[in-house]
């Protein structure tokens, strides 16, 4: 099974599932001590519906350039003889 975790992840999908299945009588601080993570980490995973990391890319990618940025890109392409992807 290929598990892709964020590079600074402190929990695994198995631990996240255990956090989500923990009864409400178990406090966040108790779970944090058990799994050696912070209380905000417990709160984050306790109320999510999945055990997978969310993507960290922007949802609104900037795909347009201002006129000044466009001039710089054109000048660099002419000078360096590179494609836009290589810049």
3-state SS of 64-86 is CCCHHHHHHHHHHHHHHCCCCCC
Q: Which of 16-20, 36-40, 72-76 has the lowest mean pLDDT?
A: 72-76
* Domain assignment of residue 8, yes or no: no
* Domain assignment of residue 4, yes or no: no
- Band the pLDDT of 37: cuts 50, 70, 90: very high
Tokens of 28: 């966040």
Cβ atoms within 10 Å of 27's Cβ, excluding its own? 12
Domain membership of residue 30 as a residue range: 13-53+63-86
On the question of pLDDT at 19 being above 90, the answer is yes
**Domains held by the chain: number:** 1
* Domain assignment of residue 22, yes or no: yes
pLDDT of residue 48: 86
Q: Which residue has the higher pLDDT, 63 or 37?
A: 37
* Domain assignment of residue 45, yes or no: yes
* Domain assignment of residue 73, yes or no: yes
* Domain assignment of residue 40, yes or no: yes
* Domain assignment of residue 31, yes or no: yes
Cα angle 36, 19, 17 (rounded to 5 degrees) comes to 115
* Domain assignment of residue 23, yes or no: yes
């Amino acid at each position: 099974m290929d598990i892709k975790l964020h590079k600074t992840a402190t929990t695994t999908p198995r631990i996240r599932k255990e956090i989500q299945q923990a009864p409400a009588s178990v406090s966040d601080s108790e779970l944090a001590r058990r799994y050696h993570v912070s209380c905000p980490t417990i709160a984050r995973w306790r109320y999510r519906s999945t055990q997978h990391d969310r993507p960290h890319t922007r949802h609104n990618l900037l795909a347009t350039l201002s006129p000044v940025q466009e001039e710089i890109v054109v000048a660099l392409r002419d000078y360096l003889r590179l494609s836009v992807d290589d810049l």
